[in-house]
Amino acid sequence: MVLRYPFETPPEQGCVTEIAEGVLWARLPLPMALDHVNVYALDEGDHWTIFDAGLDSKRNRALWGTLLNGPLAGKPVRRVIASHHHPDHIGLAGWFQAEGAALWTSRTAWLFARMLVLDAQERPLPEVLDYWRRAGMDARILSERAADRPFNFCDVVAPMPLGFHRLADGQLIRAAGRDWDVRLGQGHAPDQVTLWSRDCNLVLGADQLLPGISPNLGVYATEPDADPVAEWIDSCTRLLAHARDDHLVLPGHKLPFTGLPLRLRQKIENHHSALRRLHSHLAQPRHASACFAPLFKREITDGVYGLALVEAVAHLNHLVATGSARRTEDADGVWLWEAM
C-alpha cells in the first residue's frame, strides 16, 4: 500500500481542476512557507457550495472574482462550508455571507472564529506574554513580540454576520448530488469538519487529512494544559475505521491522494515516534524551547518559532497527561519538564 496522487499538478490561480462530476478544485495563495490553501466548489445545479474560502485579502477577493466570472460563472455561491476556524479556511466566509451565502460549520469553529474576529489587540495580552515566558520563549523573541502588534484574526478574516448552520458529528448532508457523512476531527482545530461521500470514494479532508505534512498541534495561553496530541491520535484512530485505500482525499493543502489508511497510520506513528524521542531528551529537566531538536529534527528559524513552541508544549503536556513526565518550575517560574 502506498500513497498515490492522481492529479500531479494543482490548478493555476483563477482556474479549476474537475475532480469528479460537480466537484471542482481551486487554489488560493497564502503569505507564508505553506503558500497555498485548497478550496473546493460543489455544483448544486442552480448555485454553488464552496468548501473553505481562503484568507481575506485583496488578492484572494480578486481571485474569487476571477473564478466566479470564469469557471464558476452563471451561478451564485449560496453556501460556504468552513472546515475549521483557522483564517486560511474561514477568512472569506463572512464576505460570501454578505453576498447572501449561508455559513455551515461546527458550533465550536463558529464560536472560535466569531470570538477571535471581534478581539483585536494592539499589543499581546499580559496572559499571552506570561504564557510565552513560562514556556521558555527566547528572551530576544519575547521582547520583540511584546513590542509589536500581534496577529489579529480581523486582519485576514472578514466580519462574520450573526448566525450559522451547525454541522455535527454523524450528521448527513447533501451536496453536489451526493450524500456526505460529517465526521469531526480534533487536535489541529476543535471540531474540524470532514465530509465522507456515501455515493463515491470522495473525502473532503481539510487539514485533518493531509499528505506529506502534519498540521500544527499547538497549546496556547487560552488553555495552557490542553492535550491536543491525544485528541489528534484519537481522531486518527477513529477515522481509520472508516478509511479505504480507494478513498480520494481532497485535502486542505498539497495534492489529492489515495491510500488513506496508510496515511492515518503514518500520522499516528509519527507522533508516537516524536514522543519517544522527546521522552529520551527529558532525561534532564528541559524548557519547552529546548525541545525543538528531538521533535522537529531541523533548525527552527524565527519565522516558525512560535508554532514550534506551542507544538513542543503540546507534546510535553501529553507526556505529563500519560504519566511519562512531570512539570516543575525553575527559579524564574519558567516551566521545566522531566521524564519519569
Query: Residue 166 domain-assigned?
Result: yes
pLDDT computed for residue 88 by the predictor: 98
With bands split at pLDDT 50, 70 and 90, how would you rate the model's confidence at 298? Answer: confident
**Structural domain total, the chain:** 1
Query: Residue 27 domain-assigned?
Result: yes
Length of the chain: 340
Query: For position 109, which CATH number holds?
Result: 3.60.15.10
Query: Residue 253 domain-assigned?
Result: yes
pLDDT cut 90: percent of the chain above it: 97
φ and ψ at residue 306, rounded to 5 degrees: -60, -45
pLDDT computed for residue 108 by the predictor: 98
pLDDT computed for residue 58 by the predictor: 97
With bands split at pLDDT 50, 70 and 90, how would you rate the model's confidence at 226? Answer: very high
| Amino acid, single-letter form, for residue 53 | A
**Average pLDDT rounded to a whole number, residues 110-116:** 97
In whole angstroms, what is the distance from residue 212 CA to residue 297 CA? 16
Query: Residue 329 domain-assigned?
Result: no
Conformation bin of residue 100: beta by default, left when phi > 0, alpha when psi is -120 to 50:
left
- pTM for this model (two decimals): 0.96
pLDDT computed for residue 303 by the predictor: 87
Contact present, 301 and 33 (Cβ < 8 Å): no
In whole angstroms, what is the distance from residue 127 CA to residue 142 CA? 13
pLDDT tens, 249-271?
999 999 999 999 999 999 999 99
Query: Residue 12 domain-assigned?
Result: no
Full residue range of the structural domain in which residue 98 is found:
17-217+243-269
**Average pLDDT rounded to a whole number, residues 281-286:** 97
3-class secondary structure per residue, the chain: CCCECCCCCCCCCCCCEEEECCEEEEEEECCCCCCEEEEEEEECCCCEEEECCCCCCHHHHHHHHHHHHCCCCCCCEEEEECCCCCHHHHCCHHHHHHCCCEEEECHHHHHHHHHHHCCCCCCCCHHHHHHHHHCCCCHHHHHHHHHCCCCCHHHCCCCCCCCCEECCCCCEEEECCEEEEEEEECCCCCCEEEEEECCCCEEEEECCCCCCCCCCCCCCCCCCCCCHHHHHHHHHHHHHCCCCCCCEEEECCCCCEECHHHHHHHHHHHHHHHHHHHHHHCCCCECHHHCHHHHHCCCCCHHHHHHHHHHHHHHHHHHHHCCCEEEEECCCCCEEEEEC
Contact present, 85 and 104 (Cβ < 8 Å): no
Query: Residue 319 domain-assigned?
Result: no
In whole angstroms, what is the distance from residue 252 CA to residue 267 CA? 16
pLDDT tens, 54-108?
999 999 999 999 999 999 999 999 999 999 999 999 999 999 999 999 999 999 9
Query: Residue 36 domain-assigned?
Result: yes
CB neighbourhood size of 330 (10 A): 12
Strands 23-29 and 192-197: unpaired
φ and ψ at residue 65, rounded to 5 degrees: -60, -40
Strands 192-197 and 202-206: antiparallel
Query: Residue 235 domain-assigned?
Result: no
In whole angstroms, what is the distance from residue 306 CA to residue 311 CA? 9
Q: Judge whether residue 324 has pLDDT over 90.
A: yes
Residue 186, CA distances (Å) to 113, 227, 271, 284, 314 in order: 16, 11, 15, 31, 13
pLDDT tens, 140-182?
999 999 999 999 999 999 999 999 999 999 999 999 999 999 9
**Grid cell digits, residue 227:** 492535550
Contact present, 300 and 306 (Cβ < 8 Å): no
Contact present, 65 and 39 (Cβ < 8 Å): no
pLDDT tens, 175-221?
999 999 999 999 999 999 999 999 899 999 999 999 999 999 999 99
